[in-house]
Structure 1
Amino acid sequence: MPQGGRRVAAPADLDPKWPDGYVDELRRAGGKEKNIPFCLSWVRRFFAEHPGTNRRDLGGMEIELFLGRTARRAQLAGTTGTG
């Protein structure tokens, strides 16, 4: 997503419907169409790691941990030649 201009930390719609509401918010935030499927995949994987947890109870710390694990898995896959 573009880094300049208005920054969106959370959707304006406090109860977006999955996935259409999220797609609408990504577009409103300036997300590129080609990136939206990747964003949805990321959100699905993130919530799958936190089953039963209300999405409003998940915050920056959980996102940082998720991204760190995701980056480490990608690095390991790159060094071992597996995907």
Structure 2
Amino acid sequence: EMKIEKDIPVPPRGNKPHPWEEMEIGDSFFVEESPEASMKQIQNTMFTSIRHRRKDLPEGYGISTRRWPRGKPYGIRVWRVK
């Protein structure tokens, strides 16, 4: 059975969860693995996000991701490379 709830605001569209526009070549950020998001899912999300933001980014913009098991927490490091 689903519970109906009232007065829950709809989040605004166009929120930018990733800092693509602010990143310069060589910059990186870390996304921690969680029970809800495996490292592979995080990598897929990063590349999907870039694909959807392509029109807002400089031509040739590129990222590289690596699994980051160097100590804990585990996750994905994302670099801007182009």
Normalised to the residue count of structure 2, the TM-score between the two structures is: 0.28
**Where is the strand percentage greater, Structure 1 or Structure 2?**
2
Greater relative CO, 1 or 2 (CA 8 Å, sep 6+): 2
Normalised to the residue count of structure 1, the TM-score between the two structures is: 0.28
**Where is the helix percentage greater, Structure 1 or Structure 2?**
1
Q: Rg larger in 1 or in 2?
A: 2
